[in-house]
Amino acid sequence: MTDNHLIFRENLAAYALHALNSEETAALEAHLQICDSCRAELADYQRVSAGLLSALPPQAPPPALKRTLAARLPSARKTARPRWQLQRSFGQIATAAVLTFLVGINLVSFFQMRALQSQQLELTRQLQNGQTALALVASPGTYTLPVSGGDVTGSLIVNRENNSGVLIVSNLPPLKEGETYQIWLIQPDQERVSAGLFGANRADDITITSLDSTDSLQRYIGIGVTIEPAGGSDQPTGPKVFGVEF
């Protein structure tokens, strides 16, 4: 295998994420026309990276907020008022209306900013987990296992020698407020050890999360995912969503 071939192969993961410059992209695409092995390896990268860069949906402020703010405007108050209130100058009423409007704008902006920050953090986490998945695919000893359980679909990419694993799933059942998904590593004696918590976007979105284990994955025979209270549990207490055997 030539040095040029190795360079092209090392650029496949970055190409799948559109991270090469135009010169590198053109050179790699020309190489792909004549190299069957690189085309096959690129297909693996593209399958894993599909959907990683999809943006989270925008979050609108709660409808109750708009109704509450509208109810506070002077025009919404229809009850009888004392004569001294009716004699206020137009400037005073206008000032009060403007202040109320500005307060409402600030509140809406606050909620939108909080939602945007949450979306950015989630997108960053998804991208980091996606990059971990791409790195795993390129590592010797990595294999992919199908996820089974209800309508949930996806794969577990795992390398037990490197103590690394990434879970890629969709069609997860919706969580209620105060709930989270928890991953459990299963020992041969069926004891469970927590391997991390994760949430989910809409059911039709792809969720990507890494296994969190300080012990070698060689000690375990599989994983399971359950729904637990926010913050997680010491042992499984909620319904099982799916499992994967190593």
Residue with the bigger pLDDT between 140 and 204: it is 140
- Per-residue model confidence (pLDDT) at position 56: 44
Residue with the bigger pLDDT between 118 and 104: it is 104
Cα gap 52→207, rounded to integer Å: 9
Cα gap 64→192, rounded to integer Å: 43
Residue 85 has pLDDT above 60, yes or no: no
Any idea which of 55-59, 126-130, 143-147, 238-242 has the lowest mean pLDDT? 55-59
| Number of residues that make up the chain | 246
pLDDT in tens, 32-41: 899 988 888 8
pLDDT in tens, 165-220: 888 888 899 899 999 999 999 999 999 999 999 887 555 577 888 888 888 888 99
Phi, psi of 218 (to 5 degrees): -65, -20
3-state helix, strand, coil in the chain (%, to 5): 45, 20, 35
pLDDT above 70 coverage of the chain, percent: 60
The tokens for 153 are: 């679909």
- Buried b / exposed e over 128-167, threshold 16 CB at 10 Å, is ebbbbbbbbbeeeebebbebebeebbbbbbbbbeeebbbb
Give the confidence band of 55 by pLDDT, cuts at 50, 70, 90. Answer: very low
Task: Delimit the domains of the chain by residue range.
Answer: 3-50, 63-124, 143-245
Give the residue among 198, 131, 126, 133 at the shortest CA–CA distance from 164. 133
Give the confidence band of 120 by pLDDT, cuts at 50, 70, 90. Answer: low
Residue with the bigger pLDDT between 201 and 58: it is 201
* Long-range CB contact pairs, 63-66, < 8 A, 24+: 65/107, 65/108, 65/111
- Per-residue model confidence (pLDDT) at position 232: 94
Residue 12 has pLDDT above 90, yes or no: no
* 181 within 8 A of 169, measured Cβ to Cβ: no
Residue 42 has pLDDT above 70, yes or no: yes
User: Can you give the pTM of this predicted structure?
Assistant: 0.50
pLDDT in tens, 91-111: 566 666 666 766 666 666 666
CATH of domain 143-245: 2.60.40
* 113 within 8 A of 67, measured Cβ to Cβ: no
Residue 161 has pLDDT above 60, yes or no: yes
- Per-residue model confidence (pLDDT) at position 234: 95
